[in-house]
Amino acid sequence: MHPPRFLRTHLLSQWPECSLEIGCRRCETRTMTIAVKGLMRWYGNRSFADILDRLRCKYCRRRPTTVRLHAMRGNDAVSDALTSWSLQIVSETVE
């Protein structure tokens, strides 16, 4: 399955079953994953553009070098096959 069209102007509520994987190549390629529902609890129903501007690496406190939007996986193999996709929405070059 191909991922749906993503725009930074979309609201978090438009992608509630997804998660963001945040990576920082400055910190030995460390990654962390945050559920979009969790972001909505913390920040309200903001746009992805607003959230992406706020994101920082948990370890070095700099902007992440990669951010991927992942479909949340279902509880069985059938739903996994139908919802397995990921979009890279931020990619920066490390200085």
User: What pTM does this model have?
Assistant: 0.78
pLDDT digits (tens, 9 = 90+) for 30-64: 788 999 999 999 999 999 999 999 888 888 888 89
Between 26 and 51, name the one with better pLDDT: 51
Question: What tokens were used for 49?
Answer: 């553009």
Q: What is the pLDDT of residue 77?
A: 46
Phi and psi at residue 9, to the nearest 5°? -80, -10
Residue-level pLDDT at 47: 96
Tell me the pLDDT band of 4, cut-offs 50, 70 and 90: confident
Burial of 51 (0-12, 13-18, 19+ CB in 10 A): buried
Report the DSSP beta bridge partners of residue 18.
71
Question: Per-residue pLDDT for 13 more than 90?
Answer: yes
Q: Could you say which DSSP state residue 79 is in? A: H
Asked if residue 15 has pLDDT above 50, the reply is yes
